Structure 1
Amino acid sequence: MVQNLGCREILIQSFDNDGTGNGLDLKLLELIPDGLLTVPLIFAGGIGKSEHMLTGLSHPRIDAVCTANLLNFINHGLVNARKRLKLSNF
C-alpha cells in the first residue's frame, strides 16, 4: 500500500531489538513476501557491532541498514565500523 502512495523506500525497525546491540531481527523479513517490495528496504534495530551491519548489508533483500546505538554509544563505533566495512568492500 505505501509503495502505491509513492513511498521511495521502506524502513523496517525491530522495536524488540532496538538498543540491545544483539543484532538485526532478520525474522521480520519472513513477514514480507519475496518480490513484494519494489523500493529499497532499510533495516534497523539491534546493530551493536560492525558485524551486524555486514550481516544486514550482505543480505540479498536488504538495501541499507540504519543504526544510532553503534555510532553514538559504542566507543570508537563509527571508526571501527568504517574500517570493517571498508575491509569488506562496502
Structure 2
Amino acid sequence: MSFSVLAVCLFVVASTVVLAAPPSVTPEVCESRENEVYYKCQLEACYTTCQHLKTPPPCPSIAAGCFQPACICKGGFLRNAEGKCVPEDQCH
C-alpha cells in the first residue's frame, strides 16, 4: 500500500515540474506564423498534418490529458512536409 502512495506522490511531483517548465512556444511565435494559433493546452492528437490524410494515425481525435503548449494550424489547415500550415486541398 505504501509503495502505491509513494508512486502516486512521485508522479504528482514529476508532473508538476514538467508543467511548471517554461514553454518553448509562446503566443507571439504562433501569431507570427501564417494560419497558426497558440494553444496553451493542446488536446487534439490526430489529423494535424497532411500525411495524416494518407495514413490516419491510430488514435482518438481527442487525447487524454494536456500536452505542452503548441502552435496549431487553424481550422481547415494542415501542416505540410515543410512545416507550414496549408489549406487541406493543397496537401499533396
TM-score (structure 1 length as normaliser): 0.23
TM-score (structure 2 length as normaliser): 0.23
Higher strand share: 2
Q: Look at both structures and tell me which one has the larger radius of gyration over its CA atoms.
A: 2
